[in-house]
Amino acid sequence: MSPRQPEGVPLSGLGTLPPQVGAVPPEGGRRPFSVYLHVPYCRVRCGYCDFNTYTNLSLGPGASAGDYVDTLAGELALARAAMEEAGLPPRQVQTVFLGGGTPTMLPASDLARMLELVRLTWGLAPGAEVTTEANPETVDQRYLEDLAQAGFTRVSFGMQSAVPRVLAVLDRVHRPERVPQVVAWARRAGLSTSVDLIYGAPGESLADWRRSLEAAVETGPDHVSAYALVVEEGTRMWAQVRRGELELPSDDDEATKYELADELLAAAGYEWYEISNWSRPGQRCRHNEAYWRDWDWWGAGPGAHSHLGDVRLWNVKHPLAWAGQVASGRLPVAGHEVVDAASRELERVMLGIRLREGLLLRGLAHGGEPVTAAGTPVRLVPVVARLVGDGLLDGVAAAGGRAALTLRGRLMADAVTQALLP
């Protein structure tokens, strides 16, 4: 969760949700429901990180690591009461994700209790996916066994790179050989595994990136995420770049590294299902898909964001302020906004086009709707025909009524999004 919160309107009273939280999706029905739990503690704050994280574990009453779960319990109770007051029908939780920060800075028993709080508050759907992020140095075999025993189903390890020099630039403190060890322990405990990689670190060569990809494949996780490094203004790395101490790679360098990732991961049996994510069959991250598919979710913890119906909400950022709000019986929401039709269409196209399945062409408003009939080819609107001709959208998918990105299209997803918007 980014420390820079958007502007918005505070909730009234002690946390009355606006009526738009009950808005139904255009296709009707009820959105599935997920929960995100933000754990803000880290051992080291990485130079590129602009998330809402703190290396001080003793921030004060209700905000310290030892008090965190108690305060979280208070927020979840307030959230459930606010949702019931708003008339939202009860829904079991389909996916739970613990992120941060580093959730595994807390004892495994705390993470187990957090999951139990979600179960007691809303109930877990049969087969619910339950994931925690973890840094390789913060867990051992017993810790992972305890997570599995508590009901966790996945763990996502922050691998980032297999090259010590690159890890040092990123301020990562684990040793590369630790990653296959923790993945093996997790697998032995019965947990599905994912590793996160970052490409485009200052000074990272193409050979370095190949080495990291090959190490990830050799480790054998069920899922791989590969993200281009984004250096946000205000971070320590941003200051180093401005002073000329570090040099960021070119767009062409990052594109080449992405293409290499897709090539090597595909050859190893991983299928891309979202621009930055690849998985073995049946091992997609359902929680991340919840964001891309416009599900509802409640985000608990300092700085966490939520989405209910047509409403976006975000919590107060600092753990002390968050804990103070909860202690006073006030839902710790700093602000909210009601998403208008234009913004919702932008989000629908921007997020949906990132998925392998893409978007239904008949849902696009640009240039009129294509005509479809059983056994009849799709008549492509001009903008879609142009994107197919430019090699950005898949022609076979378009003929079947969907806008789906090619490899080249994935590299230019923002441009495709803008072209598809009215």
Residue 58 DSSP class: -
- How far is Cα 93 from Cα 195, in angstroms, rounded to an integer? 24
Q: Which candidate, 272, 276, 163, 293, places its Cα nearest to that of 227? A: 276
Instruction: Report strand pairing: 33-39 vs 93-100.
Output: parallel
Q: Which domains does the chain have, with CATH numbers?
A: 19-338 (3.20.20.70), 341-420 (no CATH)
What amino acid occupies position 69?
Answer: V
- How far is Cα 204 from Cα 77, in angstroms, rounded to an integer? 46
Model pLDDT, residue 245: 93
Percent of the chain scoring above 90 in pLDDT: 82
Sequential pLDDT tens for the chain (422 residues): 444 556 689 998 889 999 999 999 877 789 999 999 999 999 888 888 888 899 999 999 999 999 999 999 999 999 999 999 999 999 999 999 999 999 999 999 999 999 999 999 999 999 999 999 999 999 999 999 999 999 999 999 999 999 999 999 999 989 999 999 999 999 999 999 999 999 999 999 999 999 999 999 999 999 999 999 998 888 889 899 999 999 989 999 999 999 999 999 999 999 999 999 999 999 999 999 999 999 999 999 999 999 999 999 999 999 999 999 999 999 999 999 999 999 998 999 999 999 999 999 876 765 444 444 344 444 567 889 999 999 999 999 998 999 999 999 999 999 999 999 87
Q: What is the pTM of this model?
A: 0.93
Question: And the tokens for 169?
Answer: 């630039």
- Burial of 238 by CB count in 10 Å (0-12 exposed, 13-18 middle, 19+ buried)? middle
Report DSSP letters for 138-176, one per residue.
Answer: G--HHHHHHHHHHT--EEEEEEE-S-HHHHHHTT--S-T
Beta bridge partners of 383: none
Distance of CA 32 to the CA centre of its chain: 17
Q: What is the pLDDT of residues 131-145, one digit of tens each?
A: 999 999 999 999 999
Name, in order, each residue with C-beta under 8 angstroms of 96's C-beta and a sequence gap of 6 or more.
Answer: 34, 35, 36, 37, 115, 118, 124, 128, 129, 130, 131, 287
- How far is Cα 186 from Cα 136, in angstroms, rounded to an integer? 11
The backbone torsions φ and ψ at residue 25, rounded to the nearest 5 degrees and listed phi first, read -65, 160
- Burial of 23 by CB count in 10 Å (0-12 exposed, 13-18 middle, 19+ buried)? middle
